[in-house]
Structure 1
Amino acid sequence: MPNRELVSRSVAVERVVEARSTALADIATAHVELDAIAGRVLAEDVHAPRDVPPHDYATMDGYAAAAADEPPLDVVDEIAPEDEPPDIGPGTAVRIATGAPLPPRTDAVLKRENATVAEGRLADWELAAGTNVHRRGTTATADERLFAAGDRLAPRHAALCRDVGIDTVPVRERFAVGIVATGTEIHEGRQPDRDSEFLANLVRSWGHVPAEPRTVPDDPAAVRETIESAAADHDVVLTSGGTSVGTADHVSSTLADHDPLFEGVRLRPGRPVMAAVVDGTPVVALPGKPIAAHTAAVLVARPLFTGKTDLSTVTTTPEHHVAMPDADREYAVPVVMEDGRATALGHVDSSLPLYEDRFAPGLVAASTRATLADGFVLTETALEPDEPVDVVPYPAVE
Structure 2
Amino acid sequence: MTAPGTRAGEDAHDLDVEEALALVKPPHRHTPGDHVAARGDHVPARGDHASAPGDRASSPAQAPSPAPQNATTDTTAAQGTGSTASAPRQHAHHRAHHRATPWPEARATAERAGRTTRAGAGETGRSPVTVPLDAALGLVLAAPLAALTDLPSFDTSAMDGWAVAGPGPWTLREDGVLAGHAQPERLADGEAVRIATGARIPPDTTAVLRSEHGLTDDKGRLHPTRDHLGHGQDIRPRAQECRSGDQLLPAGTPVTPVVLGLAAAAGYDTLTVVPRPRVDVLVLGDELLTEGLPHDGLIRDALGPMLPPWLRALGTEVTAVRRIGDDADALHRAITDSEADLVVTTGGTAAGPVDHVHPTLHRIGARLLVDGVKVRPGHPMLLARLTEGRYLVGLPGNPLAAVSGLLTLAEPLLRALAGRAAPERYALPLRDGAHGHPYDTRLIPVLLRGERAVPLHYNGPAMLRGVAAADALAVVPPGGAKPGQETEILELPWATTGLAACST
Q: Return closer, same or farther for 1:55/1:19 CA change in 2, 3 Å cut-off.
A: same
> Of the candidates 96, 99, 114, which is equivalent to residue 17 of structure 1?
114
Q: How far does the alpha carbon of each residue in 1:329-357 deviate from its partner, in whole angstroms, 9 at most, with x for none?
A: 654432346799754321xxxxxxx4xxx
Equivalent residues of 1:264, 1:272 under 8 A apart: yes
Quote the residue 1:34 is aligned against. 133
Tell me the CA shift for residue 51 of structure 1. Answer: 2.1
The alignment partner of 2:397 has SS state of coil
Quote the residue 2:228 is aligned against. 126
Identity of counterpart residues, as a percentage?
28
Task: Establish whether residue 372 from structure 1 lines up as the match of residue 468 from structure 2.
Answer: yes
Equivalent residues of 1:216, 1:226 under 8 A apart: no
Q: Return closer, same or farther for 1:58/1:241 CA change in 2, 3 Å cut-off.
A: same
Quote the residue 1:349 is aligned against. none
Tell me the CA shift for residue 276 of structure 1. Answer: 2.0
Task: Establish whether residue 334 from structure 1 lines up as the match of residue 448 from structure 2.
Answer: no
Tell me the CA shift for residue 26 of structure 1. Answer: 0.5
Deviates more, 1:117-126 or 1:31-40: 117-126
Q: How far does the alpha carbon of each residue in 1:21-68 deviate from its partner, in whole angstroms, 9 at most, with x for none?
A: 1467414665433333334455655543322321233232234569xx
Structure 1: distance between partners of 2:206 and 2:411? 48
Could you state the TM-score of these two structures normalised by the residue count of structure 1? 0.73
Task: Establish whether residue 168 from structure 1 lines up as the match of residue 270 from structure 2.
Answer: yes
Task: Report the AA paired with residue 308 of structure 1.
Answer: R
Task: Establish whether residue 308 from structure 1 lines up as the match of residue 308 from structure 2.
Answer: no
Quote the residue 2:150 is aligned against. 51
The alignment partner of 2:300 has SS state of coil
Could you state the TM-score of these two structures normalised by the residue count of structure 2? 0.60
Question: Which has the higher Rg, Structure 1 or Structure 2?
Answer: 2
> Of the candidates 193, 196, 205, which is equivalent to residue 301 of structure 2?
193
Quote the residue 1:322 is aligned against. 433
Structure 2: distance between partners of 1:368 and 1:179? 19
Tell me the CA shift for residue 18 of structure 1. Answer: 1.8
Task: Report the AA paired with residue 376 of structure 1.
Answer: A
Tell me the CA shift for residue 142 of structure 1. Answer: 2.2
Q: Return closer, same or farther for 1:345/1:7 CA change in 2, 3 Å cut-off.
A: closer
Task: Report the AA paired with residue 298 of structure 2.
Answer: R
Equivalent residues of 1:237, 1:284 under 8 A apart: yes
Task: Report the AA paired with residue 287 of structure 1.
Answer: P
Equivalent residues of 1:180, 1:216 under 8 A apart: no
The alignment partner of 2:324 has SS state of strand
Quote the residue 1:350 is aligned against. none
Quote the residue 2:179 is aligned against. 81
Task: Establish whether residue 242 from structure 1 lines up as the match of residue 355 from structure 2.
Answer: no
Quote the residue 1:351 is aligned against. none
Tell me the CA shift for residue 325 of structure 1. Answer: 0.8
Equivalent residues of 1:335, 1:376 under 8 A apart: yes
The alignment partner of 2:268 has SS state of coil
Task: Report the AA paired with residue 244 of structure 2.
Answer: A
| CA RMSD, 1 decimal | 4.3
Equivalent residues of 2:100, 2:373 under 8 A apart: no
The alignment covers a number of residue pairs equal to: 376
Task: Report the AA paired with residue 462 of structure 2.
Answer: A
Task: Report the AA paired with residue 399 of structure 2.
Answer: P
Deviates more, 1:332-341 or 1:206-215: 332-341
Deviates more, 1:382-391 or 1:208-217: 382-391
Task: Report the AA paired with residue 61 of structure 1.
Answer: D
User: Any gaps of 5 or more consecutive residues in structure 1?
Assistant: 347-353, 355-360
Structure 1: distance between partners of 2:482 and 2:230? 53
The alignment partner of 1:217 has SS state of coil
Equivalent residues of 1:374, 1:394 under 8 A apart: no
Quote the residue 2:317 is aligned against. 208
